[in-house]
Chains A and B, each alone.
Chain A
Amino acid sequence: MPKILIPTPLRQFAGGSDAVEAAGATIGECLEALTAQHPDLRRNLYNDEGKLRSFVNIYLNDEDIRYLSKTGTAVKDSDTISIVPSIAGGR
């Protein structure tokens, strides 16, 4: 199964795990499986409309899924999915 790396501040919502195996043929399915296993993660990743929050970027191995097929991106069992918050700003 694809492995999802859990960012350190979210481990508390994933039973302390730093990585979770989540079944699915696409990124979207894997994230659904992840939040089904760990419902407390859902509020951190999705807004009230069920869309990924604006600050949540997902990487398949080293590639940003926005430049692939977004949550429809196909995944293989050997893949690693990372959750990386988008952070910027300025005075």
Chain B
Amino acid sequence: MIRIDKPAWDIMVEHARACYPRECCGAMLGKEADGVRTVHAARPMRNAFEGAQEDTYVLDPQEQLAVEKEARAQGLSVVGIFHSHPDCDAYFSKRDLENSCPWYSFVVLSVKNGEFDHANSFLPNFDQTEAPKEPLEY
């Protein structure tokens, strides 16, 4: 399961609202113990997709390297990635699955009419064929 501290959650929601109607993305920094990931900090990131961002996001690898360094410096790990789905539900799409990575929790935030609606977290497998939901607390 994944638990997100309120200050981190507030940053994630605000980033999703600010990017609306485009998809936002970012990293969640925290710790993992006994199968529970706890997010202590959220780091908004640039959507590096160069086309229409209403339905696509791409993380910038150089920024990923920078976020890894930040996490190390704070004694934290990158435990998850978040992105938003403007005006649709927080499901894990085929494209989300095909471009995922099993090392992280993937939190999807649904933003409807510019306001946060609901969220879910997913755990993709190694072969990028399945991503079961995991319990999410925020």
Taking Cβ atoms with an 8 Å cutoff, the residues of A that contact B are 5, 7-11, 18, 43-44, 47, 53-55, 57, 59, 62, 64, 82, 84-91
Contact = CB atoms under 8 A, between A and B. Distances in A.
Contacts of B127: 47
A9 B95 contact: no
A15 to B, nearest CB: 15
B61 A90 contact: no
Contact of B77 (A9, A43, A54): A9
A88 B103 contact: no
B93 interface: yes
B118 interface: no
A90 B23 contact: yes
Interface of B: 23, 32, 49, 55-59, 61-62, 64-65, 68, 71-72, 76-79, 81, 83, 85-86, 88, 91, 93, 95-104, 126-128
Contacts of B93: 89-91
Nearest to A10: B103
Nearest to B106: A89
A53 B86 CA distance: 30
